[in-house]
Amino acid sequence: MQWANFLAKEAATNGLSLEQTVAFAKSFQTENLGKTKVKLASELNVDITAFTKWVGEVHDKFAQNSPELATFNNRDKLEKLQAYLSLKYNSELDALKPLAAMKLFKSLVVRERLQQEAWVARRICKFLGYLPLALELVGRYLDKMPDLSLETLLKRLEKKRVEHEPVVNANSLMPDEYGIFEAFELSWEQLDENAQSFGCLLSLCALADIPLSVETIEDNKKQKLNEKAIADLLELHLLQQKSKGIYRLNPQIRQLLRMKLDKSSEADEAKSKFAAMMLEVAKLIPQQINPEDILNLTPHIPHITEVATHLCEYLGDENLITLFTKLAWFYQSQGLYQQAEPWLQRCVELTQNRLGLEHIDVATSLNNLAALYETTGRYREAEPLLEQALALRKRLLGEENTDVATSLSYLGLIYEYTGRYSEAEPLYQQALELWKRLVGEEHPHVATSLNNLGALYCYTKRYSEAEPLFKQALKLRKHLLGDNHPDVATSLNNLAQLYESTGSYKQAEPLYEQALELSKRLLGNNHPDVAISLNNLAALYRYTRRYRKAKPLFEKALKICERTLGISHPTTMTVRANYASFLREAYQ
């Protein structure tokens, strides 16, 4: 396996983000191994503090899956990673000792067969470089050909080496991999055209577990063809099954299958097909993801990422924005904003380059990136993007359009969060009236607009105007979305805050408790929305002098905010300030 492929596999296995993977591949190139942190940061033109922090984050991710990192004592984290990666790479390619190779070969081949040609068996092991994978492939090949002599097998392997040496050199395979290449070639010839095509399609998957469910295929003929292809690949050890419906390709086999695909006339068709398949899976990602969604979709994310990273040119213009937005939603709705951001940035870049600056999808991608910046408190970065999106949407779609209403709402939020209430209010009002005209009075977007306007009135202490809007939004959301929805939790929180602000603590408390339980159930215990609910309930306990109840809630809220939003996010700073104020009051 090439070092670059090994690094890609390690990045995927250890869950590095897109940004981390790019930096990881660059920092751990073979020529950089052994270099000090200071020297490497200097050569990469990276600030040493930022580089040290990045190395620490990558090290900690690897340490979660590889406790053996702790065995590299008396080294900094960069040196530990360098040593660990070098050792693991060498161990994965390590050939067996001749006796161990023969023992493995004996376990794979019928004993009588080996006894008849023992000397040839030793020559085969040597030819294959004593590599376990090559021996496994040859063992499975012999199983399918019980009458084939080992002498004939060796001649076939030797012939493959001569025939394909130019191919091997052209694809930068290492000498240690030659035995695997010849064994693979023999196995490849045993596959029918359907299994070969299926294997090539699988080579487009990421270096991660591959979920395959043939039962979901409605076409019976296609289902049977896929079942047979999987069975044939498993039989020849070209594919491994980890558990029911979960498979994995060996990195070297994946590389060899990809070489076959790239040489074939069907390469573009296969890549278009794979990109379309992953797009359909990506379309299943909702904007508000729940724990069940996370469980079901997580196995597919590496392969969707593979398309977004390497095969986006095979997506049609009309689908370009969908794949990147859905990937971002997967992370964003879990509060993993740093992992969502690169996909939204890439979406803006790609839509502008491919579609031109005057395209509606450019406006949508600008709006989506701005929405992330708004969520993470980067209001200065969000505002110009929203202004661009609004102007573009008005120009391309006219004033009376739902996308225009969306942009008005987001821009209103930015003005509100930056204290420009007089600028926010007319935008909220325009958005509300526009939604009502375009989609009717009973629509989730109408509820959101009511909620936004109510929150603005709360900030400006116009409580009597805010309360009916909050109640109307809550009623509408329950009616349209059901009781178990994150937007319902938001409405409960907002109404509770209003009651708290007016001193109606008894009315506020049950609403805060409902909002907290709902957010936990729908979003998990470590989501920023859960932190906000914890903070709100803690503040209520503080105001009612129930300090023992307040303290652990403040601490949990602050911990979640710092982990998911960062220490400088406005919400984190608000929670920290609330906690500090509480401590001064409770322990003075």
User: What is the structure's pLDDT at 74?
Assistant: 44
CB 127 within 8 A of CB 179: yes
Tokens of 570: 């406005």
Using only C-alpha atoms, what is the Rg of the chain?
29
Integer Cα distance of 262 and 258 in angstroms: 6
Integer Cα distance of 8 and 297 in angstroms: 21
Of 16-30, 48-62, 443-457, 473-487, the one with minimum mean pLDDT is: 16-30
Phi, psi of 242 (to 5 degrees): -90, -40
CB 340 within 8 A of CB 49: no
Residue range 130-148: mean pLDDT, rounded: 91
CA neighbours closer than 13 Å in the CB half-sphere of residue 301: 24
Tokens of 71: 């065995």
3-state SS of 538-561 is HHHHHHCCCHHHHHHHHHHHHHHH
User: What is the structure's pLDDT at 41?
Assistant: 77
pLDDT in tens, 174-188: 555 678 999 999 999
Give, to the nearest 10 degrees, the angle between helix 132-144 and helix 178-190. 20
User: What is the structure's pLDDT at 26?
Assistant: 79
pLDDT in tens, 502-513: 999 999 999 999
Closest-CA residue to 487 (of 430, 443, 457): 443
Integer Cα distance of 204 and 278 in angstroms: 11
With residue 211 as reference, give the H or E element that holds it.
Answer: strand 210-211
Residue range 236-251: mean pLDDT, rounded: 90
pLDDT in tens, 305-347: 999 989 999 999 999 999 999 999 999 888 888 889 999 999 9
Q: What is the mean pLDDT of the chain?
A: 88
For residue 85, name the pLDDT band (cuts at 50, 70, 90). Answer: confident
Domains of the chain: 3-93 (no CATH), 191-264 (1.10.10.10), 276-506 (1.25.40.10), 524-588 (no CATH)
- In the chain, the percentage of residues whose pLDDT exceeds 70 is 93
Integer Cα distance of 510 and 468 in angstroms: 19
Burial of 299 (0-12, 13-18, 19+ CB in 10 A): middle
Integer Cα distance of 168 and 179 in angstroms: 11
Q: What is the DSSP string of 102-116?
A: HHHHHHHS-HHHHHH
Residue range 285-308: mean pLDDT, rounded: 89
Tokens of 161: 């080496």
The three-state secondary structure class of 372 is helix
With residue 85 as reference, give the H or E element that holds it.
Answer: helix 77-93
Give, to the nearest 10 degrees, the angle between helix 463-481 and helix 486-501. 160
CB 431 within 8 A of CB 399: no
User: What is the structure's pLDDT at 546?
Assistant: 92
Of 54-68, 304-318, 468-482, the one with minimum mean pLDDT is: 54-68
Give bridge partners of residue 248 from the DSSP assignment. 240
User: What is the structure's pLDDT at 34?
Assistant: 61
CB 423 within 8 A of CB 415: yes
CB 137 within 8 A of CB 183: yes
The contacts found for 475-480 with CB under 8 angstroms, 24 or more apart, are: 476/442, 476/444, 476/446, 476/447, 476/450, 477/444, 477/447, 479/442, 480/442, 480/443, 480/444, 480/447
**Cα-based angle 233, 239, 244 (whole degrees, multiple of 5):** 105
Residue range 283-302: mean pLDDT, rounded: 89
- In the chain, the percentage of residues whose pLDDT exceeds 90 is 60
pLDDT in tens, 10-45: 887 777 877 778 778 878 876 676 667 777 777 777
Q: Examine the pLDDT at 80 and tell me if it is beyond 80.
A: no
